[in-house]
Amino acid sequence: MKITRRKIIGGSLAAAPLAAATAALFGEGEAAAQAGLNAEGLAEGGEIRLPRGYTRLAEPFRFAGNRLNIRGDGPYASTVQFEPEAPGAAAIELDTPGRGGQAQSSIAGLGFHSTNSVDKTAIRLPNVANVNIERIGIAGRAWPGAGSIGIHTAGRQFVRIRDCDLVCARPIVMSANPAWPTIGADFFQISSCELATSLPRGACVEVEDGVVAYNLSVRDTCMARGADGFRFVDRSSRGASCNLEFQNCRTEQGESPSGWSYDLRSARQSFQSILFQNVRCDGARNGIRISGGHRITLINVDLDQRDGRVALDIEFNPATVLTIIGGFSQVGGTMRLARARKVSGLDSQVRGGAFGPNEIWVYDPTA
């Protein structure tokens, strides 16, 4: 189904390819937008096609049903223009009330653009399941605002973010699920993405306080600029996170010497298992910092930190076991393994150069 209506706005021609977007384009607000969807038979799903060029939304587009697929011709071919007046608005939001939430929808092939500095979000996903976000683009300086977000999730399960190119203050943010506090990010996947934060103290991926994450994976992804690549600092979650996985990823162009490629710290619940495999941590910032971790595995990890940088900083507790298989660290980078003792592996350096094969470190309160 493709519905295109046009209206001259500020001397330019804007296209809205569905009744809902047309209602927003004409300034009729969210109620009219939802009514437009219902009238077109899309209240319980269907497909919306955005044409090439710019589709301007004067108001946020919200969908409260299931099984809606929004498609464009590509992230820099079909562009959503969004100029909110008040901070916090999302251009597209899939939001179905109740614990069941929104399910089986997808958004693909869109770019996002704005000219104002009001904090905004491109795509917001509160309490969703089985949702695919693919081929989304936000070019540098195209999404201004010191708190502007690319993709913002707040639960629940089986969310796949892939083939996205996001440059803004906060490219990907994961928040706690208000409808289901113990399921914040269950089987979430970020893959084949290029992410860059425009904030010198920002992070490319932020998992906020209170999130419980199960089987959260980041693969084949580059995280550039800012202070941190991946940041997960938890003080209040109601469950232990487990199976956090980072594979074939790279950080680069760090802008803060006090930042970290990966910063995972929990003061309340534990990170039960964390895997880093074929990961490179750039030398412009520190490498990997973990506290509250239980089973931590590093396989072929390249720590490029030199003098003045910390390559590996792990605070051990009685349940912590660190396994290192292969890998490399530059000469001069500092290793901090607090309250730890090596129980397996050759006598390697812990201050730079290749790690010993198959090192295993465990908790030792006397170390």
- Please give the pLDDT value at position 24: 41
Over 90: is that where the pLDDT of 131 sits? yes
Decide which of 94 and 8 is more confident.
94
17 phi, psi to nearest 5 deg: -90, 20
- Please give the pLDDT value at position 42: 64
Evaluated on CA atoms 36, 42, 44, 49, the torsion sign reads negative
- Please give the pLDDT value at position 356: 59
Say what percent of the chain tops pLDDT 90.
Answer: 67
Distance between CA atoms of 341 and 362, rounded to whole angstroms? 5
Tokens of 41: 């038979």
How many Å is the Cα radius of gyration of the chain? 22
Over 90: is that where the pLDDT of 57 sits? no
Confidence band for 169, pLDDT divided at 50, 70 and 90: very high
Across the chain, mean pLDDT equals: 86
Instruction: Give the model confidence (pLDDT) of 5-54 as tens digits.
Output: 322 222 222 333 344 444 443 334 444 444 444 445 566 678 888 888 99
- Please give the pLDDT value at position 29: 41
- Mean pLDDT in residue range 306-319: 93
Q: Are 19 and 46 spatial neighbours (Cβ–Cβ below 8 Å)?
A: no
Distance between CA atoms of 307 and 334, rounded to whole angstroms? 8
Tokens of 275: 């895997």
Over 90: is that where the pLDDT of 143 sits? yes
CA geometry: angle 119, 241, 261, nearest 5 deg? 60
Strands 5-9 and 12-16, how do they pair? Answer: antiparallel
Element of type H or E holding 176: none
DSSP 277: E
Residue 178 backbone class (left: φ over 0; alpha: ψ -120 to 50; beta: rest): alpha
Distance between CA atoms of 351 and 333, rounded to whole angstroms? 6
Residue range 62-363 in CATH 2.160.20.10: yes
- Mean pLDDT in residue range 150-159: 96
- Please give the pLDDT value at position 99: 73
| Type of residue numbered 304 | D
Over 70: is that where the pLDDT of 226 sits? yes
- Mean pLDDT in residue range 116-130: 96
Residue 156, preceding peptide bond in cis (omega within 30° of 0): yes
pTM equals 0.88
